Every structure is written in structure tokens, then in C-alpha cells.
Structure 1
Amino acid sequence: MITITNERLMVQIDPLGAQMHSIKRRGEDTEYLWQGDAQSWSRQAPVLFPFVGRLKDDHYGFEGRDFHQTQHGFARGREFKLVNRAADLAVFELESDEQTRTVYPFEFRLTITYALVEDQLVISYQVANPASEQVLRYALGAHPGFNVPLTAAGQFETATLTADPAKVYPQIPLVGPYSDLGHPKELDARRPIQLNHDLFDHDALVFAPYGADLSLTLTEPESGHGVTVLTSGNPFVGVWSQYPNTGNFLCIEPWWGLADGVDSDGQLTHKPAMNQLAPGGVANYQFSIRPF
């Protein structure tokens, strides 16, 4: 486990999947990050790459070949290499190899940087295409889960989620695990959203800011503690908690990609919301987490 600290925060990251393991404020015992529970959701903060969400029948086709891939891609189960380390910074890297090419026929390098900047954890992703000819097709996302409640005094049902800007957002509905792009909805975030597990009976609430700045703040009124996830440039932000096997956590997920559409034909070149990177190209993405 890799630990980074500054005067305000202490964060732990597991090289397996390069996923966060703990987020605390210095000198305090409050754990902001969900610690996993086999009865509801066993993960904590997986990195989603090279897919976000589920593929139809866990398969996709590309250039006449069929590939099997489970939900959210393979990066969450791979060991990342620690390539840079300082007291308040850790950089992890995953590169394509023979194993990844059996399920994903592309060359890639994914670099994830965790940096503490005052009271925020800044998470940066860099995707590089080292191939000489082939365009890299990929999706990318974060899936951090936060404890709700954060203290013994709180309850899941009294916590709130507040959007900034506070307005009505486009929403991508899900039918089962698949995106229903043909029937967009509206998500009214002009006032704080009161949490309750039934909000997630149709899976995640998918905000679609389409690149506009969006901050989502989870607040526990009883203690005044909470966490803000600040996004910029994200086309989508998912908000999710397990249902019907409920757990005391809420995930706030910056996404650069979507699950397959309900009418997907399974061909990667037709898959919505995929990113494309030319040979030799590099793309950068970022979001931050501020616990309070």
C-alpha cells in the first residue's frame, strides 16, 4: 500500500488496480472512502478502463474478431507499476502486454497520478497511444465510493447530494445495465437531493454535463462532514449505490465513456461515447476530491 500525505490529508493507494484505499484528513479518524463489503459492494474505488459500464453479453467485435470483456474493463484487476513517488504524490502506470491484447487489441499506456494539493486530492489520468498506425479506442472512468454515514450520528437517508451549478441536467437513463440514449431524461438538481436507496432501483443516476464544470457534494447534516467531487470536462458523471443489496456508501463517478446502448450491435466502431486517440497521441483527464 502506498501512502501520500501533506499537512491536511492522508491517502492510501493500492497498486493493484491503482485504486484508492483510504482518504482521511490529517489528525482525524474519519474514513471518507468506503472500505468494501462482500454483502453489498466489495470494491472501493476502481479505475474503469478501457470500458465504462457493461458491454452487451460481455462481448464486442472489432475487425472481424470477437473479444470477451467484463464490466468496466480489466485495469481494475491489474497490478500497476509505481513510476514516481514523493511525500504528497504517487504516479502509477499500466501498459499493454500479451495478456491485455487477448481481450483488447490495442497498444496503450495508462498513467495515473495522485497528488495532494492543499485540501484536495487531485487525480490525473494520461492515456497514450504508442502504436505507429492503429487508432486507440477507449473509455475511461473513476468509481470512488464514499462512506454514508461518515460518523455514528449520521444515516444514509439524511445525507444529501448537492450539485454546483444547481440546475436541471440532462440525464442518461439506464435500462438494466445499458444506456438508453434514445430516451434522455432530466435530472432536477436545483435543490439538494435527499438520499435514499430507492433512488438506485434502476442503477446509477447519470448526469450528462457534456464537458461543463460540475461539482457534486455529499453532506452528512448531523456531523457537517462530507466530500466534494469536482469535475471539469467530463461528459458524464454517474452517482450510484448498490440496490437491492444496499450498503452504506455512495459512488460519485467521473466518466469519459458509457455502457453499451440498449440497441448496441456489439461492434466497437459503433459503440457510443468512446474516445479515439491517433498513433503517437496523448490525452489528459482530471478530477479532484475534497473531504471536509
Structure 2
Amino acid sequence: MIKLENDKLTVEIAQLGAQLHSIRRNDNQVEYLWQGDPALWKRQAPVLFPFVGRLKDDQYEYRGKTYYQTQHGFARDREFKVIDQTNSRVVLEQTEDEETLKVFPFAFQLRIIYELAGDQLNVCYVVTNPDSKHSLIYAIGAHPGFNMPLSNDSTFERVQLSVSPAEEYSRIVLNGPYNDSQNPIMIDMQKPLTINHDLFKNDALIFETGGAKFTATLTDPVNNHGVHVHTLGTQHFGVWSPYPATANLVCVEPWWGIADNVNADGKLLHKQGMHRLAPQDNDTYKFSIQPF
């Protein structure tokens, strides 16, 4: 397990999937990150790559060939190499190999940088296309789960979700596991939303953020502890808790991609929300986690 530490935070990261394992503030020793439970949700903070969400029939077509790929891609279940590490920063890397090429016919380099900066954990995904001829087509996203509530005297139904800017947002509704972006509904986030398990009956709440600066905050009002997730550049932002399971868990998810549309034709070149990275080029995606 990789440990990062400064005077404010102590963070642990696993090399399997480059997944966050623990986030604690040094002044209160509260564990903010969900610790995983196979009966409810076994993961903690998976990295979503090269797809966000589910593909129709778990498959897609590219250059006349059909490839099979499960929800959220393969990066979360594969080992990352440590490229560089200090007390407060680590760089982890995953690249293509024979196994990934069977389900995703592209060369890639995915680097994940975790860095402590005061009371924030800054996360940066760097995607590089090493190919000299072909574009890299992919999506990427984060899926950190947080313990909610954060006090023994509180309940899940007291937890509040607030966003900044506090305004009305277009919300994409899921039809099964697929997005119905042609028929969005509005969600009023001018005031904090008190959550409950039924809120996630139809899966995640998906906010259309349009790439603007956006912060989602979970707060346990009993002890006023919580977490801010700050983003810039995401087109979509998901908030999710397993249903019908009743886990004390809420995921706050910056996405640079989205599940297949209800009308998707299965062709990768037509898939909604995908990025196209030119040969020898790279791109970065950033967010930060600030526990309080």
C-alpha cells in the first residue's frame, strides 16, 4: 500500500487499479473513504478507463470487428506501476499489453498522479497516445466512494448534497444502464438536497456541468464533517449510492465520458462522450478531494 502524508492529510493508495484506499484528516482521524464491502459495494474509488458506464450488450464495433468490454473498462482491475514517489506525491502508470489489446485495440499510456496540497488531495489523469498513426479513442472518469454519514449519531437520510454554483442543472436520466440525454429533466440545486436511498432507485444522478468549474459537497450535519469534490472541465458529474442495498456510502464522480445512449448503434466512432487523442499527443483531467 502506498502512503502519502503531509501535516493535514494521510492518504493510502493501492497499486491494483491505482485505487484510493484511505483518506484521513490528521486532526480528527475520521475515515472519509468507503472501505469496501462485498455485500454492498466491493470497490472504493475505481478509475474508469477506457469507458465510463456500460456499453450496449457489453460490446462495441471498431473497424469491422466486435470487442467485448464490461462496465467502466479494465483499468480498475489491473496493476499500475509506480513511476515516481515522494512523501506527498505518487505517479502510477498503466499501458497496453496483449490482454488489453484483445478488448481495446489501442496503444495507450495512462498515468495517475496523486498529490497532497494542504488539506486537498489533487488528482490528475494524464492520457498519452504513443501511436504514430492512429488516434486514441477513450473516455475516463473517477468513482470515489465516501462514508456517509461520518458520525455514529447520524443517519444516511440526514446527509446533504450541495453543489456550487448553486443553481438549476439539466440532469440526464438513465433508462436501465443507458443514458437518455435527449430527454433531460431539471434538478434544482439552489438549496442543499437531503438524500435518501430511493433517490438512487434509477441509478446515478447525472449533472450536466458543461465543463464549467463545479463543486459537489457531501455534509453530515450532525458533526459538520464532509467532503468537497472540486472539478473543472467535466461534461458530466455523477452522484451514486447502491440500490436496493442500503449502504452508508455515496460516490461523487467526475466523468469525462458517459454510458451508451439509449439509441447507440454500437459503433465506437459514433459513441457519445468519447475523446479522440491525436497520435503522439496527451491530455490531462483534474479534480480534487477536500475533506472537512
Q: TM-score range by the shorter chain?
A: over 0.9
Amino acid corresponding to residue 289 of structure 1 in structure 2:
I
User: What is the match of residue 6 of structure 2?
Assistant: 6
Shift of residue 27, structure 1, vs aligned partner: 4.1
Whole-angstrom CA distance in 2 between matches of 1:112 and 1:38: 26
User: What is the match of residue 137 of structure 1?
Assistant: 137
Q: Deviations over 1:258-280 (max 9, x none)?
A: 00011111110110010010001
Amino acid corresponding to residue 154 of structure 1 in structure 2:
S
Amino acid corresponding to residue 99 of structure 1 in structure 2:
E
Q: Deviations over 1:104-146 (max 9, x none)?
A: 0001000000000000000001000000111100000000000
Amino acid corresponding to residue 82 of structure 2 in structure 1:
L
Shift of residue 210, structure 1, vs aligned partner: 1.0
Instruction: Work out the number of aligned pairs and report it.
Output: 292
Shift of residue 29, structure 1, vs aligned partner: 2.5
Amino acid corresponding to residue 21 of structure 1 in structure 2:
H
User: What is the match of residue 192 of structure 1?
Assistant: 192
User: What is the match of residue 283 of structure 1?
Assistant: 283
5+ residue gaps, structure 2: none
Shift of residue 56, structure 1, vs aligned partner: 0.3
Shift of residue 245, structure 1, vs aligned partner: 1.4
Whole-angstrom CA distance in 2 between matches of 1:90 and 1:282: 19
Matched residue of 1:228: which SS? strand
Whole-angstrom CA distance in 2 between matches of 1:44 and 1:236: 20
User: What is the match of residue 221 of structure 1?
Assistant: 221
User: What is the match of residue 208 of structure 1?
Assistant: 208
User: What is the match of residue 64 of structure 2?
Assistant: 64
Amino acid corresponding to residue 140 of structure 2 in structure 1:
L
User: What is the match of residue 236 of structure 2?
Assistant: 236
Amino acid corresponding to residue 262 of structure 2 in structure 1:
V
User: What is the match of residue 97 of structure 2?
Assistant: 97
Shift of residue 28, structure 1, vs aligned partner: 2.8
Shift of residue 151, structure 1, vs aligned partner: 1.6
Amino acid corresponding to residue 208 of structure 1 in structure 2:
E
User: What is the match of residue 112 of structure 1?
Assistant: 112
Whole-angstrom CA distance in 1 between matches of 2:125 and 2:29: 29
Amino acid corresponding to residue 178 of structure 1 in structure 2:
Y
Spell out structure 1 runs of 4+ moving beyond 4 A.
Answer: none
Matched residue of 2:289: which SS? strand
* TM-score, normalization by structure 1: 0.99
Amino acid corresponding to residue 56 of structure 1 in structure 2:
K
User: What is the match of residue 34 of structure 1?
Assistant: 34
User: What is the match of residue 23 of structure 1?
Assistant: 23
User: What is the match of residue 122 of structure 1?
Assistant: 122
Matched residue of 1:269: which SS? helix
Whole-angstrom CA distance in 1 between matches of 2:248 and 2:191: 23
Question: What CA RMSD, in Å, does the superposition of the two structures yield over aligned residues?
Answer: 0.7
Alignment of 1:158-169 (within 5 A): 158-169=158-169
Q: Deviations over 1:74-116 (max 9, x none)?
A: 0000000000000000110001111110000001000000000
- The answer on 1:50 being equivalent to 2:62 is no
User: What is the match of residue 267 of structure 1?
Assistant: 267
* TM-score, normalization by structure 2: 0.99
Whole-angstrom CA distance in 2 between matches of 1:242 and 1:105: 32
Whole-angstrom CA distance in 2 between matches of 1:80 and 1:27: 31
Whole-angstrom CA distance in 1 between matches of 2:81 and 2:38: 27
Whole-angstrom CA distance in 2 between matches of 1:89 and 1:264: 40
> What's the % identity of the aligned pairs?
52
Whole-angstrom CA distance in 1 between matches of 2:135 and 2:151: 48
Q: Deviations over 1:212-238 (max 9, x none)?
A: 111011000101100000011111110
Matched residue of 2:103: which SS? coil
Shift of residue 42, structure 1, vs aligned partner: 0.8
Q: Deviations over 1:17-75 (max 9, x none)?
A: 00100000114321000001112111000000000000001011100001010000000
Whole-angstrom CA distance in 1 between matches of 2:210 and 2:275: 14
Whole-angstrom CA distance in 1 between matches of 2:193 and 2:28: 28
Amino acid corresponding to residue 108 of structure 1 in structure 2:
F
